[in-house]
């Protein structure tokens, strides 16, 4: 097929060597095991795709620990085609780097992402199926390869497939594509047995192909709308506070807590050596509505104390003292509730770990800096208001004196 002319292959060769322990270890993962032939699993993967992917378009993503071994094993692969992770960050960052390199070389690039620890009994049939997948990927689809299950396996993810996809360009294709109804994480034994019985589920192989340019544009559009969502959330929060306080001053003071949260988000991801992903950006948007609560509590308390006859400076000092406990309680309960999510406990939980880290980091710095920044901003505005009142009073006194002279 013509679409294979634009094909790049990315072999995923990371892993921690846990599944086949003690045969596999962190410095000798299962990709380096010789289980079915004299070649290792990654060598078999490499040989499978060589007939359809040019040598200069085969890339390999691995860890720093294994980089030297793979360079020696695949010495015919160009050095620039190795993507080496300094710190393990799952597959998404590696795929992103590979996609960027593909686009730099071919604007119509199609990337096939392939795990390197699979056994394939019929390599020729595999290449036929991969070529069909690349054909649909060229039409803008993200195509994943499914495996017909032979038993109720609880260690694999599942794909629920739908109807056949139309293919007017190649209606007689032997390997037709189906739509995907859902991706399902590793099920319990009863659910896995039910999946097998329905005949509508496949094992998720983790292999997929897609047209890089279209997907990159989709990512850019998604991030653009996330930025718009963040600005709209800030605006809506400000409008709600303005309507409740019946003033623009207090909301302006409180909204200063939002940049304070951004400091914590950056520090959290730097300290944990994590990447900011889509779930983390969703967490940042959530923070806009969370971090302002502490400022609202303090400013509202200060306004109530002023109504009792206290001065502005004393009011904010008393508000800070009285509201310290509820501020800390609400903040720490929220942060502690996010800890399991941030740790990524459980299968598939790492998908939302970024959100937990963003909320914890942002709320932590915002909580403590709010205790200083909000009183300072309140005091600054109070002094300006006091000077403004004095000018009005002085002008009024002068006008009264002029009238009495007349």
Q: Where in the chain is the domain with CATH 3.90.550.10?
A: 2-154+203-211
pLDDT at residue 293, as a whole number: 87
Q: Where in the chain is the domain with CATH 1.20.1640.10?
A: 247-401
Cis peptide bond prior to 22, omega within 30° of 0: yes
DSSP code string of 200-211: -EEEEEEEEEEE
Length in residues, the chain: 406
pLDDT at residue 114, as a whole number: 93
Q: Which of 345, 346, 343 is nearest to 357 (CA)?
A: 343
> Could you say which architecture CATH assigns to the domain 2-154+203-211?
Alpha-Beta Complex (3.90)
200-258 pLDDT per residue, tens: 999 999 899 999 887 767 777 777 888 898 899 999 999 998 888 888 888 888 888 88
Question: What does the alpha-carbon distance between residue 310 and residue 250 come to, in Å, rounded to a whole number?
Answer: 18
Question: What does the alpha-carbon distance between residue 64 and residue 1 come to, in Å, rounded to a whole number?
Answer: 36
pLDDT at residue 202, as a whole number: 94
369-379 pLDDT per residue, tens: 888 888 888 88
Q: Which of 215, 203, 213, 90 is nearest to 156 (CA)?
A: 203
Return the C-alpha torsion angle 388, 390, 392, 393, nearest 10: 160
The Cα diameter of the chain in Å comes to 113
Question: What does the alpha-carbon distance between residue 17 and residue 30 come to, in Å, rounded to a whole number?
Answer: 6
Report phi then psi at 366, rounded to 5: -65, -40
Lowest mean pLDDT among 79-88, 183-192, 320-329, 352-361: 79-88
Which CATH superfamily, name and number, covers 247-401? Multidrug efflux transporter AcrB transmembrane domain (1.20.1640.10)
Report in angstroms the alpha-carbon separations of 71 from 103, 266, 369, 392, 401: 24, 34, 49, 78, 92
311-343: buried (b, 16+ CB within 10 Å) or exposed (e) per residue?
ebeebbbbbbeebeeebeebbeebbeebeebbe
pLDDT grade for 402, boundaries at 50, 70 and 90:
very low
pLDDT grade for 24, boundaries at 50, 70 and 90:
low
Instruction: Determine the average pLDDT of the residues in 305-332.
Output: 85
pLDDT grade for 10, boundaries at 50, 70 and 90:
very high
pLDDT grade for 25, boundaries at 50, 70 and 90:
low
Does 31 have pLDDT greater than 60? yes
Instruction: Determine the average pLDDT of the residues in 169-184.
Output: 80
pLDDT at residue 217, as a whole number: 72
Lowest mean pLDDT among 24-38, 106-120, 227-241: 24-38
pLDDT over 70 for what percent of the chain? 86
pLDDT at residue 392, as a whole number: 44
Q: Write out the E strands in 55-171.
A: 58-63, 82-85, 110-115, 143-147, 158-164
pLDDT over 90 for what percent of the chain? 23
pLDDT at residue 324, as a whole number: 86
Report in angstroms the alpha-carbon separations of 15 from 42, 64, 89, 91, 233: 12, 12, 11, 10, 39
Q: Write out the E strands in 47-153.
A: 58-63, 82-85, 110-115, 143-147
Query: How many C-beta atoms lie closer than 10 Å to residue 222's C-beta?
Result: 12
**Crossing angle of helices 278-307 and 312-343, rounded to 10°:** 160
319-373 pLDDT per residue, tens: 888 888 888 888 899 899 888 888 876 555 667 788 889 999 999 998 888 888 8
Structure tokens, 45: 């993967």
Return the C-alpha torsion angle 104, 105, 108, 113, nearest 10: -90
The predicted model scores a pTM of: 0.64
Q: Three-state SS for 371? A: helix
Question: What does the alpha-carbon distance between residue 2 and residue 218 come to, in Å, rounded to a whole number?
Answer: 24
Tell how strand 178-184 and strand 58-63 pair up.
unpaired
pLDDT at residue 49, as a whole number: 92
The DSSP 8-state label assigned to residue 308 in this structure reads T
Q: Three-state SS for 295? A: helix
Q: Are 381 and 253 in contact (CB under 8 A)?
A: yes
Question: What does the alpha-carbon distance between residue 388 and residue 111 come to, in Å, rounded to a whole number?
Answer: 65
Does 69 have pLDDT greater than 90? no
């Amino acid at each position: 097929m013509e679409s294979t002319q634009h094909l790049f292959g990315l072999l995923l060769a990371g892993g921690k060597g846990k599944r086949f322990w003690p045969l596999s270890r962190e410095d000798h993962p299962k990709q380096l095991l010789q289980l079915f032939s004299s070649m290792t699993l990654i060598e078999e993967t490499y040989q499978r795709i060589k007939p359809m992917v040019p040598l200069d378009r085969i890339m390999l993503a691995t860890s720093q620990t294994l980089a030297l071994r793979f360079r020696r094993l695949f010495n015919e692969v160009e050095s620039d085609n190795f993507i080496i992770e300094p710190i393990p960050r799952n597959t998404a960052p590696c795929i992103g780097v590979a996609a960027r390199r593909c686009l730099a070389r071919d604007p119509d690039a199609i990337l096939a992402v392939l795990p390197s620890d699979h056994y394939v009994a019929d390599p020729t049939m595999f290449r036929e199926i991969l070529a069909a997948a690349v054909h649909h990927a060229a039409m803008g689809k993200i195509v994943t390869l499914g495996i017909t299950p032979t038993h109720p396996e609880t260690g694999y993810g599942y794909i629920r497939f739908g109807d056949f996809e139309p293919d007017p360009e190649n209606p007689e294709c032997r390997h037709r594509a189906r739509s995907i109804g859902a991706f399902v994480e590793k099920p319990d034994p009863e659910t896995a047995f039910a999946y097998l019985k329905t005949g509508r589920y496949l094992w998720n192989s983790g292999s997929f192909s897609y047209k890089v340019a279209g997907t990159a544009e989709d990512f850019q559009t998604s991030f653009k709308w996330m930025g718009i969502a963040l600005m709209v959330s800030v605006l809506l929060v400000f409008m709600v506070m303005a309507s409740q306080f019946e003033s623009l001053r207090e909301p302006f003071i409180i909204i200063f807590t939002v940049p304070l949260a951004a400091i914590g988000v950056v520090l959290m991801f730097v300290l944990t050596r994590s990447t900011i992903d889509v779930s983390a950006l969703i967490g940042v948007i959530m923070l806009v509505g969370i971090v302002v609560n502490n400022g609202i509590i303090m400013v509202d308390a200060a306004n109530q104390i002023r109504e009792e006859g206290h001065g502005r400076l004393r009011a904010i000092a008393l508000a800070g003292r009285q509201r310290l406990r509820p501020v800390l309680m609400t903040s720490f309960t929220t942060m502690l509730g996010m800890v399991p999510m941030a740790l990524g406990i459980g299968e598939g939980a790492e998908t939302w770990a970024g959100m937990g880290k963003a909320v914890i980091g942002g709320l932590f710095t915002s909580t403590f800096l709010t205790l200083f920044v909000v009183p300072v901003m309140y005091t600054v505005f109070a002094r300006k208001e006091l000077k403004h009142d004095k000018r009005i009073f002085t002008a009024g006194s002068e006008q009264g004196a002029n009238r009495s002279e007349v």
